[in-house]
Structure 1
Amino acid sequence: MKHLHNVINGIAAEALDSAVRDVVNPFTEHVIAQIPAGSAADADAAVESARTAQETWAALDLEERLRYLSRTADVIEGHIRELAELESQEMGKPIPVAEQFITGGISALRTSVEQARTYPFVADVTAPGEPGRTIVIRQPLGVVALIIPWNFSVSSILASIGPLIAAGDTVVIKPSEKAPLSAARLVELFDMPPGVVNLLHGDARAGRPLVEHEAVKLVHFTGSVEAGRSVGVAAAKRLQRSILELGGNDPVIVDSDVDVVATAKAVAMSTFINSGQICTSSERIYVHRTIADEFTHALVAEAEAFAMIDDPDSDGLGPIVDDAQRKIMHAHVLDAVAHGATILVGGELPDRLGYFYPATVLTGATPDMRIMNEETFGPIAPITVVDSFDEAITLANGTSFGLASTVYSRNPENLKRCGEINAAIVWINEWQSGGVGVTYEPWGLSGVGATGGAASFDAATRPFSMVYSSSTEVVDAT
């Protein structure tokens, strides 16, 4: 049994409230750790540590801050396996999948370092012929609350924290109470001065006072729509910023001219990997009628190959994070069947230890079903047959969500229409593709606030202008 502590001012700190929460391994259903449940006093201590450290941190030269980040990336790279094992224990992720995404998170951190070197923290924006000079300076905001989800603790932190730290902000990280082990170890590995990165454990008893704290200048939250609304309201009441990445019910459009077997394999990966517990997992599949039978047959074969695993070190389907989440996805399947859908494979609660759910394929999915309107977050592929690309786009947009979507097509005219899809990202012929320049903002209930590339640095800073008269010598603003 592990007993985790908050990290305040660079050291492990006892919680100021005695209440605790259990952490359960979804493979074994056994309690493996306890964390502080959280309190306003704990949140105050974490924020005060970050606030005290921020001025000194921001005063460092940019290159010095970037050296800290680069050294941190180097250290973390030597602990990928350890962090992957912790993610597997806390939320059921197969270790190979965890290693893949942690490696991606480290790459994102290193990319942030390189982007910081060219980001215009100080920019002369004087127009040609304009009298005087105008210098725009982007200053750090101050203390940032980084609240991360349970499905990708390590990579979520690494993908988000680089621009914040590089800009001169300090951070309070609050991991999910469901999956705190890997975040706790990651923070131990950060090579930063005391107070720059702080860790606050707990549930809403820690999260609520953190997002309501008057010294927090930005809340960067990834989680459910319901919780995201509360975070956004709390930040708005203080007239402070929030970045919210919330739920998704992401569509896939499969056109008539694709390589059916290869596309089915790709869709299976985007639906079943990490047991469907990815914000951008494929959750609604729209297939052209001319290839629907062949595609469905191929997808069923792929689903049958995604076996539930006993060994976390193997590929396949790990368990769902907890039984409550599993009950939600199973309820979606039962609702779909009640409304006329047919289960081709899976769809039953397995009689075995662990919170497992099989890879499931449904046909006959219609817009009135919960599974087509709510975030399922599980290894379930509901198929709807369409007669045209136009119909597929209409159905894809028939949701309040708009996080990501994927289109498989070789038709140039149809591909031109991908911009009509309501989403932050449209992947074309390859799920989860993209380079360092990807920038996006969620649509609808999926959130608010742009991130990626320069947008992440914009969100981490506050611009102000110094306007010099033509008779005034410009001083070094750096």
Structure 2
Amino acid sequence: MTDVATARMIEIRSPEDGTLVWELPMASEKDVSDAYAAARSAFPGWARTPAAERGAALRAAAAALRDRADELARLNHEETGRDVAEAREGVLAGASTLVQYAELGPLHRGRSLLGAHEAIDMMVPEPRGVVVALTPWNDPVAVSCGLIGAALVTGNVVIHKPSERCPRTGLALGEALRMPEGVLQTLSGDGEVGARLVVSSDADVIAHVGSTATGHAIAEVAARTGAKTLLENGGNDPLLIDSDVDPEWAAEQAALGAFANCGQICTSVERIYVHQDIARPFITALTRFAVDAKLPPLVDRRHRDHVHGHVMEALARGAERIVGGEIPSGGGAHYPATVLTGCEPGMAVLAEETFGPVAPVRVVPDFEQGLAEAASGPYGLAATVLTNSLEHAQRAWRELPVGTVKVNAVFGGAPGGAAQPRGASGTGYGYGPELLDEMTTTKVLHMAIAGGRR
């Protein structure tokens, strides 16, 4: 265990007013080593546990998570500023994901192959081993439960490092899930602790949800260690608005996509391309929604500086601030809903991930140019198109080079749906039955009768 007297500490300050909430010790190098030893020791027994029993353990974990939903929501709010009701919804979503994998796990199977009559040919899924899960702060319980649930139900063991911006939430999650010794372990720490976990040759899978820079660094290390990587990195999700939609409704969708959870959602709307024919009423309505928005604070002042830096760079290069874009007085990490117009390609608010309550609007002369610009850039997480044209919807989902395309809804999706980011946004499936395939490796079995045909 970490020696608190000598450990490096994580300091959490309230996003509401900047006061110190608590300090927690970070995992030491020995803690990381011990966690790997415990995981390796627990893996053979957990891998041999019947899939139905592993599923039952996830159902029990989901029930415990629901029992502690209020506590986890409060911790999430205190650490990241997220609205308590929304944080509780995230906890319950995490519990539902665990139940989903409890059901899917025992059904996960390989294939039989047609070969010689006197032989058996099969493709059998097997757990990969030790999964390192590095999870984010913006939806810490729901995201973690997806990776942890899929890993555990397929027979892997997990070392989980939650973001240093929500360590208490991560520790409480680990306590609530209560798996056998060594099967699920939670370590607190910053990027240095994460790096220690990643560079170890004992990691069989590294699953990371977070920044693109960190994802690239993980991929480079994994290329040397041989670890399987699952990476959901940054996004720069476009919203493309056609000329034939109601501008009031389009503005409502844009506001939801850009301002929900203060713009701190992986698939938040990051850039808006609106047809010139409805641009004026759309911007008027979007401005009204922004003025009326009641936002939680950003996660911390460091992140606020990043968001505000993007806004100031755009203004310096000729964008117009319609509303917001100014740091309020007082403590904490508050930032207002912001609408910018006159945005041009190359501005950071269009070219990079802002991850804040900023709606940069670019007016385009036609659907073709909007689609072309929406399809530009290195990221490939998600995109949305609002249109009444079946042809335009078809073109958009075909031509946008992203893992998920949403038509006429900025958020949503069926339970059990998967996502597969592209480009700078990562690699590998997240969620859904497909994540079970990512967490397993395939062994091909050919078994014939000794001595040939009888």
Return the TM-score normalized by structure 2: 0.95
Partner of residue 338, structure 1: 316
1:164 aligns with 2:142: no
Partner of residue 35, structure 1: 24
Deviation at 1:238, TM superposition (A): 0.7
SS in structure 2 at match of 1:278? coil
Partner of residue 372, structure 2: 394
Task: Answer whether contact 2:207 2:230 (CA < 8 A) is retained.
Answer: yes
Whole-Å separation in 1 of the counterparts to 2:244 and 2:103: 40
Which among 294, 300, 306 is matched to residue 293 of structure 2? Answer: 306
Task: Answer whether contact 1:50 1:196 (CA < 8 A) is retained.
Answer: yes
Task: Answer whether contact 1:16 1:39 (CA < 8 A) is retained.
Answer: no
Whole-Å separation in 1 of the counterparts to 2:269 and 2:61: 33
Deviation at 1:16, TM superposition (A): 9.8
Partner of residue 476, structure 1: none
Task: Answer whether contact 1:250 1:404 (CA < 8 A) is retained.
Answer: yes
Deviation at 1:126, TM superposition (A): 2.6
SS in structure 1 at match of 2:145? helix
1:271 aligns with 2:249: no
Partner of residue 219, structure 1: 206
Deviation at 1:131, TM superposition (A): 5.9
**Which ranges of structure 2 fall in alignment gaps of 5 or more residues?**
none
- More deviation in 65-74 or 449-458? 449-458
SS in structure 1 at match of 2:325? coil
Whole-Å separation in 1 of the counterparts to 2:413 and 2:58: 23
SS in structure 1 at match of 2:204? strand
Which among 401, 408, 412 is matched to residue 390 of structure 2? Answer: 412
Whole-Å separation in 1 of the counterparts to 2:117 and 2:399: 40
Return the TM-score normalized by structure 1: 0.91
Deviation at 1:199, TM superposition (A): 0.7
- The 3 A distance-change label for structure 1 pair 161 and 289 is same
Whole-Å separation in 2 of the counterparts to 1:246 and 1:152: 14
Task: Answer whether contact 2:73 2:88 (CA < 8 A) is retained.
Answer: yes
Whole-Å separation in 2 of the counterparts to 1:16 and 1:249: 42
Task: Answer whether contact 2:17 2:330 (CA < 8 A) is retained.
Answer: no
Which among 174, 180, 204 is matched to residue 161 of structure 2? Answer: 174
Task: Answer whether contact 2:146 2:431 (CA < 8 A) is retained.
Answer: no
The total of aligned residue pairs comes to 451
- The 3 A distance-change label for structure 1 pair 332 and 85 is same
Q: Write the mapping of 1:250-265 to structure 2, written as runs, cut at 5 A.
A: 250-265=237-252
Partner of residue 290, structure 1: 277
Q: What letter matches 1:126 in structure 2?
A: L
Deviation at 1:304, TM superposition (A): 0.9
Q: What letter matches 1:330 in structure 2?
A: H
Deviation at 1:163, TM superposition (A): 1.2
**Which ranges of structure 1 fall in alignment gaps of 5 or more residues?**
1-5, 7-12, 308-316, 474-478
SS in structure 1 at match of 2:175? helix
Deviation at 1:470, TM superposition (A): 6.0
Q: What letter matches 1:47 in structure 2?
A: Y
Superposed CA offset, 1:222-262 (max 9, x none): 11111111111111111121111111111001111112222
Whole-Å separation in 2 of the counterparts to 1:100 and 1:262: 25
Q: What letter matches 2:412 in structure 1?
A: S
Which among 68, 71, 85 is matched to residue 82 of structure 1? Answer: 71
Superposed CA offset, 1:83-117 (max 9, x none): 11111110111112212222222222211222223
**Alignment RMSD, CA only?**
1.8
Whole-Å separation in 1 of the counterparts to 2:176 and 2:347: 45
- The 3 A distance-change label for structure 1 pair 263 and 157 is same
Q: Write the mapping of 1:219-238 to structure 2, written as runs, cut at 5 A.
A: 219-238=206-225
Task: Answer whether contact 1:17 1:39 (CA < 8 A) is retained.
Answer: no
Percent identity reads 34
Partner of residue 306, structure 2: 328
Whole-Å separation in 2 of the counterparts to 1:116 and 1:263: 40
Whole-Å separation in 2 of the counterparts to 1:16 and 1:430: 51
Deviation at 1:280, TM superposition (A): 0.8
Whole-Å separation in 1 of the counterparts to 2:173 and 2:265: 20
Task: Answer whether contact 1:38 1:205 (CA < 8 A) is retained.
Answer: no
1:423 aligns with 2:402: yes
1:367 aligns with 2:345: yes
- The 3 A distance-change label for structure 1 pair 130 and 396 is farther
1:241 aligns with 2:228: yes
Task: Answer whether contact 1:218 1:241 (CA < 8 A) is retained.
Answer: yes
Q: What letter matches 2:150 in structure 1?
A: P
Partner of residue 18, structure 1: 7
Q: What letter matches 1:125 in structure 2?
A: L
Moved over 4 A (4+): 13-17, 470-473
1:124 aligns with 2:103: no
Whole-Å separation in 2 of the counterparts to 1:131 and 1:382: 66
Task: Answer whether contact 1:42 1:206 (CA < 8 A) is retained.
Answer: no
Q: What letter matches 2:233 in structure 1?
A: L
SS in structure 2 at match of 1:362? strand
Q: What letter matches 1:112 in structure 2?
A: Y
Partner of residue 444, structure 1: 423
